[in-house]
Structure 1
């Protein structure tokens, strides 16, 4: 990312750069909050904006942001939230470009969330810009923490330039120099940090598909396999017998205990399944995916580890289609949801759920958890093995608690 100096009054993206963007095949949906919305004017004011911009949204209030994301973010201005915004924008771009030739390769979502100068702000408040991009096989995010004292107007311009450069890089267009003397000064160094993660086409294809629950009963979910250890041979899907579905954000000691015990009892390696798509959340981006895979790679040399299966099957009814004749490792909270019709939006009755699992020869190995009361249906017990607490050391830890502590440590 270029951070060369420019005169302080040069605060407009060059017109020729705008037209280079419009001449590229890139189609975008923009989601911007907190600052940087001027980029919309830059892209549209010279004409030909429809060649690039499919849609744009500015979810400025917290309520608007919650609705846009389909959830309440942990923080409204953060790298993670920028990535969530980019992912939702990408899904919107796919919908809007549906049916166009090679559209999936050309469309991107861009999310930007900023905390800029405000009236009567408290002393020491950080000013920061996060810009993320989501494409078919790539996730990227850049962050700039502003240290110098500037007007709100100049900070807005800087945010707009950052958004433009993220788009320019993806489009193969030369980036423009940032205004405001970014990167100069001995006392207050303002540096841009970047993260990018790319995936193979089979993994990227999972995001191009609609959520499986919308595909219809005759459609089979898709899957891409990842070998955590290249030295190990990976079983074919129809040979997988022990599946551990989860988000693994991150994988922690309770997950490891469950996987080890299941592998010992069944004499089979465990295959961890992660669905990139979710029922009520944005899909997992590739930076987050790599972090989750890293938490699993720690155990790649262990005998109980098979591999990782990435899917677009958020519901267990769909997972059963992918892994027939398998045993699924689940916790008590998942068990309670699994046999509750509300979990399926009230569209499936319990008898149909049970019948589907019987037809696919699916069994469940259920691990009890502290403070989780299990609701046991006698019909369900016929194909479930309940692991008692005395066989399994549940310390009550959760991935959510681990992430919270990690965020606290970053702030210290």
Structure 2
């Protein structure tokens, strides 16, 4: 998959934004001689007329990702079945050309006006741009260095996250910060739309930090002497040898948790039909004491962010 996993919906604004963000990231790798300010990523997803009647709307989404902003264009055809496939494709093409022209500040561009078109542009905060450009290591909502860190996509933030946060703060006595990694090897980078939407979920008094630390060994180096909140499913991935050169390499990298004084609070998670908690996972002896957990009798919440997203879209 282009997005490294099957999207929740193939034709959606969320999917299109992710595709554009990945396209921009790819453009920077392909053309390393061009200033990133002069590159852009473009993506489109569409559900158009075909040789059978569709249940859903005929629509399309276009996204543009640049150095300093993300733009989206959402369009729904008001009368399904009125236009042929070729006519709908021509409208999509016109809008793509117009969107690119606007981003390139081309004069006398093709004029596309429609009451069915919804346009949104999110301009990046200065520190977001610096983080993307690797000029700073993280962006924080406060001046306090986080000690209790809850990594996640929070897409969306839900009641399970809130309950886990409260239990972790009560157990440790530390103030919590939510960590959102905006780019790592397992997922497409976040667009500025997605960063804004994620951060807008957090209310007054809820601290957050943006990073590009995809691996927990990277997070450990960035925030030494910290406690990380993780699910048992994440723990199994941390201990999966396939993500390392070999077992010796895995054990050596995991020893960074000792050298950086990193501890973990592990919450049980439902994986397929089984509930997995800390006691279900075999942890290498040299780091075993750094993990403590909450049993199923204290916390269990099977709410799924994926299912919530599908309902939202």
Given the two structures, how large is their TM-score scaled by the length of structure 2?
Answer: 0.88
Q: How does 1:334-353 map to 2 (within 5 A)?
A: 334-344=234-244, 346=246, 349-353=249-253
Q: Deviations over 1:343-377 (max 9, x none)?
A: 34658633213321111111111122341253132
Q: Is the 8 A contact 1:341 1:348 kept in 2?
A: no
SS in 2 for 1:130: strand
Q: How many aligned residue pairs are there?
A: 303
Q: Which residue of 2 aligns with 1:121?
A: 52
| 1:224 corresponds to 2:139 | yes
Q: Deviations over 1:195-241 (max 9, x none)?
A: 222222321233345xxxxxxxxxx982122x2xxxxx530x3xx21
Q: Which runs of 5+ in 1 are unaligned?
A: 1-65, 184-189, 210-219, 228-232, 408-412
The offset of 1:80, in angstroms, is 1.8
Computed over aligned residues only, the root mean square deviation of the Cα atoms, in angstroms, reads: 2.3
Q: How does 1:168-317 map to 2 (within 5 A)?
A: 168-174=101-107, 175-178=109-112, 183=114, 190-209=115-134, 222-225=137-140, 227=141, 234-235=143-144, 237=145, 240-297=146-203, 300-301=204-205, 305=206, 307-317=207-217
SS in 2 for 1:143: strand
SS in 1 for 2:297: helix
| 1:160 corresponds to 2:93 | yes
Residues in 1 aligned to 2:268 and 2:56: alpha-carbon distance in whole angstroms:
44
Residues in 1 aligned to 2:247 and 2:58: alpha-carbon distance in whole angstroms:
47
| 1:136 corresponds to 2:67 | yes
Residues in 1 aligned to 2:269 and 2:30: alpha-carbon distance in whole angstroms:
43
The offset of 1:155, in angstroms, is 2.1
Q: Which residue of 1 aligns with 2:292?
A: 385
Selected match of 1:359 from 259, 273, 285: 259
Q: Is the 8 A contact 2:78 2:116 kept in 1?
A: no
SS in 2 for 1:365: strand
Q: Which runs of 5+ in 2 are unaligned?
A: none
Q: Is the 8 A contact 1:367 1:388 kept in 2?
A: yes
| 4+ long deviations beyond 6 Å | none
Query: Rg larger in 1 or in 2?
Result: 1
Q: Which residue of 2 aligns with 1:107?
A: 39
Residues in 1 aligned to 2:288 and 2:209: alpha-carbon distance in whole angstroms:
27
Residues in 1 aligned to 2:19 and 2:243: alpha-carbon distance in whole angstroms:
25
Residues in 2 aligned to 1:95 and 1:260: alpha-carbon distance in whole angstroms:
41
Residues in 1 aligned to 2:302 and 2:54: alpha-carbon distance in whole angstroms:
39
Cα distance change on mapping 1:196 and 1:348 into 2, 3 Å = farther
Q: How does 1:59-138 map to 2 (within 5 A)?
A: 66=1, 68-100=2-34, 103-118=35-50, 120-122=51-53, 126-138=57-69
Cα distance change on mapping 1:346 and 1:294 into 2, 3 Å = farther
Q: Is the 8 A contact 1:136 1:205 kept in 2?
A: no
Cα distance change on mapping 1:122 and 1:276 into 2, 3 Å = same
SS in 2 for 1:69: coil
Residues in 2 aligned to 1:132 and 1:243: alpha-carbon distance in whole angstroms:
32
Given the two structures, how large is their TM-score scaled by the length of structure 1?
Answer: 0.68
Residues in 2 aligned to 1:158 and 1:147: alpha-carbon distance in whole angstroms:
13
Q: Is the 8 A contact 2:11 2:61 kept in 1?
A: yes
SS in 1 for 2:312: helix
Q: Which residue of 2 aligns with 1:328?
A: 228
SS in 2 for 1:76: coil
